[in-house]
Amino acid sequence: MGTSAEPEEDSSSRRDEEWPEVEKAEKLARGAALKWASAVFYRPDKLEGLGHYRSREAQRNSSIQSRLKSTVQSHLEGVSSGLEQLRSAAGDMRSVRRDLCAVRWHLLGSAEGVQRLAPLRAVVTEHAQMAAVMRALPQLSSVHELLAQSLHLLQGQQLLEAHAGLMALERLRDDISSQLHCSSSLPNDQALGVVESFFGGLQELSDALAQQLWRVVGGSVRLVQEDPALFVSAVRIIEREESVDDALLLGPRAHRFPAPGRPKAWRQRFYQVMQETIAAAHFKAAHGDVKGPGLGRHLAALQSDILAELRVVKDLMVQCCPPHYDILSICTRMYHQGLSDHLQDILSRDLDKQEIFMLLSWVLHVYHSPEMMGHPDLLPEVDVSTLEPLVSPEVVEQMERKYVAKVKASVTEWMRRTLEVEFKEWFREEEPEMDHLGFFQSALPVIVMQMLDENIRVASQVTGSLQQKIYAMAMDELEAFLIRLREALGECGKEHQKDRARPKHYISYLLAVLNNNMALSSSISTLHPGSASLAKPAEIPSSLKTALDRTQKKACRLLLEELLLDLQPLSVQLPSRKWLPGAQLVNSMCEVIDKYMRDFSHVRKPIFTFLLAESEHLVMNHYVRALMEKKMVCRSAEERSQLSTRLHQDACQLRELFHNLGLAESEQTLEVIFALQELIRLQDPALLSLEVLGFMTKYPDISDEHVSILLDLRGDVSKEVRNVVLEMMAQNPQSLPENYQPIFSNILVPAPELPFCLRKGKCA
């Protein structure tokens, strides 16, 4: 037992080493069986069915073993049959090998005999060639006659008959050449050369027919209306030649013998001639014919001619051509591409603004409109929207920028001349014209706005983007114009300073400039694209708004300077003892102010109100400035009382004047004169510190220099009181409130006089 078990264990271990999967499967099976048995027999009462389970598993094992045996038996039988077939095939291969060796030895023995048959083979080849020539002799004799007949038919424009003769001759030539070529394994160049020489006139006939065809195709648009049969004949000939080309290139003879002159590709040449004809007829205009008014005529001619010819193609030529020609689409693309190239050439030249406008408008609107490619007679077969743009968006953008530059140069020059004319009118002997309300004005704003509006409206006929570009350019040019207008006002002001008699109506024209500036300001919003549909006026660009404001301030400053020049002689007497007792000085000032306000009434109300307020501020500033010039020092309390009274009366008279002119007292700055009067009227100098403190609270921009001069003007302030006042000011600095209108910060204090010193002595 022990001896027999050892070999079994050895064989089992060897099997496990050779087939590790078997060992793994066996372990899994045992584990599964144990798991199943433990699940089934985990209770004692289940052990009664153990015999039943044992018999069932035995039957199952026997069934599985029988199926395994039958499967193994069938595989063994298949392997045995395959081995038998392999043995039979190996025997057959050995037999074939022996037969091939025998054939090889026989061929080596007969090689010399084959070489002796070479002369006979050459004789056979020559005989075949001669036989081919003999068979073709009856036809060859009529070649020259047929050539002459075909040429005669061609001259009589009998194209189909001439082409039939040409095809017959070509078939004869090709048949002879093919027979000569195929009768030998090597091409007989000498024989083929003789054939080509004999049929030399055939190529001339083909070329003559081609030239006649291309003349017919070149006049196709006219012929399909006058003689469509001739055009149809040309198309039929082209189709025949295409069929021959296809047969020779794709047929069985394509690789044996290349036919001379093939492929002719006449259909491709047909399209090429059509394109060349279209280009020569419409797109070869001379440079001088597309300049200025000639460009408009040229574009109108292109519009009418292309539309008319496409109608002919759609209505007539389509019926004369095979459907696969798609002649309408081809012609549409030809016209479109030719026109695109032609326009690109025109756009590359140096065009003026009117020419650029015509081209852009024509390309973007006329070409696609119902008057041309969108005509009802062409739709729906003709649809250029599927093609590339006639002019690329990049070129359109480039031409728009070029157009804007041209318009800008024109507008700049035009505005410069307009301003020169306006400048000359300022020196006229007559006053400027008035409107129905009595306001001075000139035609300047109307002319400028009309010119800018016209350019913007013209640009809107091309594209919205061009309109926006022209609008932006107009705003820039208007701003530059206002800058030049301010410079012109400065020049006019300088001329007036040299001689106040020139210009004669200096103030009137300044007022007209202000009214013009206001008219421009109110009209600018109407230039904005789409302003008619906006709920509120379009906003003016900030830079342009600043330019308008500066122009207004420039003219107002010149007017106020003129007022100041007339007030200057009167202010020389202020303050003085001559001025104290009477009101002549302030009466004269009121007369000057009233005269200027009457002149200012010719300007519109917003500006008049501004000038009135500025004039009041100017009078106040000039009046206070005169007090600060140390022209007078009160010698007694009586003089201080007279000075106080004079200041009060002058301030009241001036306040009443400006109030009557329309400036409310709350908007006046003359109140500072009343405050100064209170400072002068104070009888006890010891109370000056309190009075000055109240003054500082109301006018925080007053400085200690201003206060010192006012104290000097009183003439009764001791050094101690002065120091107390100034020390109080230093201890109570004031900050300027928001929206405070400066009074004293605009009034300069005269520099103190230096003491005069003698040499080697004390200063006086």
Predicted confidence (pLDDT) per residue in 62-79, tens digit: 888 888 888 888 888 888
- Partnered with residue 434 across adjacent β-strands are 440
- The helix/strand/coil state of 180 is helix
Instruction: Give the span between the Cα atoms of 710 and 701, in whole angstroms.
Output: 15
What's the DSSP call for residue 315? I
Find the Cα–Cα–Cα–Cα dihedral 327, 333, 335, 336, rounded to 10°.
160
Instruction: Give the span between the Cα atoms of 355 and 346, in whole angstroms.
Output: 10
Helix spans in 141-158 (H): 143-155
Instruction: Evaluate the CA torsion angle 461, 462, 467, 468 in order and state its sign.
Output: positive
Query: Can you give the pLDDT at residue 87?
Result: 86
Predicted confidence (pLDDT) per residue in 716-740, tens digit: 888 888 898 888 888 888 888 888 8
Task: Kindly give the parts of the chain with pLDDT less than 50.
Answer: 1-9, 15-16, 184-187, 254-255, 756-764
Instruction: Give the span between the Cα atoms of 618 and 741, in whole angstroms.
Output: 13
Q: Which of 311, 345, 349, 351 is nearest to 331 (CA)?
A: 311
Find the Cα–Cα–Cα–Cα dihedral 281, 284, 289, 291, rounded to 10°.
130
Q: Are 406 and 353 in contact (CB under 8 A)?
A: yes
Query: Can you give the pLDDT at residue 756?
Result: 46
Output b/e per residue, 562-573; b: 16+ Cβ within 10 A. bbeebbeebbee
- Partnered with residue 440 across adjacent β-strands are 434
Report how far Cα 72 is from the mean position of its chain's Cα atoms. 84
Cβ contacts of 645 within 8 Å, gap of 6 or more? none
Find the Cα–Cα–Cα–Cα dihedral 293, 296, 299, 300, rounded to 10°.
-120
DSSP 246-288: HHHHHSTTTTT-PPTT----HHHHHHHHHHHHHHHHHS---GG
* Count of CB atoms situated within 10 Å of the CB of 692: 23
Q: Are 697 and 734 in contact (CB under 8 A)?
A: yes
Query: Can you give the pLDDT at residue 763?
Result: 42
Report how far Cα 221 is from the mean position of its chain's Cα atoms. 40
What's the DSSP call for residue 54? H
DSSP 497-549: HH-TTSSTTHHHHHHHHHHHHHHHHHHGGGGSTTGGG-SSPPPPPHHHHHHHH
Query: Can you give the pLDDT at residue 687?
Result: 87
Could you tell me the pTM of the whole model? 0.70
- The helix/strand/coil state of 434 is strand
- The helix/strand/coil state of 178 is helix
Q: Which of 573, 570, 618, 563 is nearest to 593 (CA)?
A: 563
The token pair at 477 is 């040019």
* Count of CB atoms situated within 10 Å of the CB of 190: 8
Residue corresponding to tokens 């050539």:
147
Burial class (CB in 10 A: 0-12, 13-18, 19+), 511: buried
Q: Are 184 and 127 in contact (CB under 8 A)?
A: no
Instruction: Give the span between the Cα atoms of 352 and 357, in whole angstroms.
Output: 9
Instruction: Give the span between the Cα atoms of 492 and 464, in whole angstroms.
Output: 41
Q: Which of 626, 601, 621, 625 is nearest to 612 (CA)?
A: 601
DSSP 193-240: HHHHHHTHHHHHHHHHHHHHHHHHHHTHHHHHHH-HHHHHHHHHHHHH
